[in-house]
Amino acid sequence: MNDFWEATRGRRLLVQRCRACGAHQHYPRILCVACGRGDLDLAEATGRATVDSFTVVHRAPAAGFDPPYVLARVRLAEGPILLTHLVGDAEWACDLPVRLDWRPLPDGRHLPVFRIQEQ
């Protein structure tokens, strides 16, 4: 998982890819969930995704979370599902196309977030 976070310093979203069958997966695992082989590497995702599910959080679970915010599952164009935040003013809906954006973190890494894909 360190490679994932280090890549965010350059605003690159990495997902695991199986060299044997070509399937993509996230979070990183020892074996491919599609074929069971262990021949895996990392590939850069395109940043295109679709909203799979979402909820608007109105009550902060802890200090530092400023409600309201949108917590979502997005399905990357490569196939894996990523838990993330949706940002920007939009009428959120399932199946809505979104694109990758980045929220800077204090240590120089970036948090992958998604916003509505403009036509």
Q: Please, which contacts does 36-40 make with residues 24 or more away whose CB atoms are closer than 8 Å? A: 40/16
| Statement: the pTM of the whole predicted model exceeds 0.75 | yes
Residue 115 has pLDDT above 90, yes or no: yes
Give the integer Cα–Cα distance in Å for 93 and 52.
9
pLDDT tens digits for 33-86?
999 999 999 999 999 999 999 999 999 888 888 899 999 999 999 999 999 999
Give the integer Cα–Cα distance in Å for 103 and 98.
15
pLDDT of residue 67: 92
Residue 119 has pLDDT above 90, yes or no: no
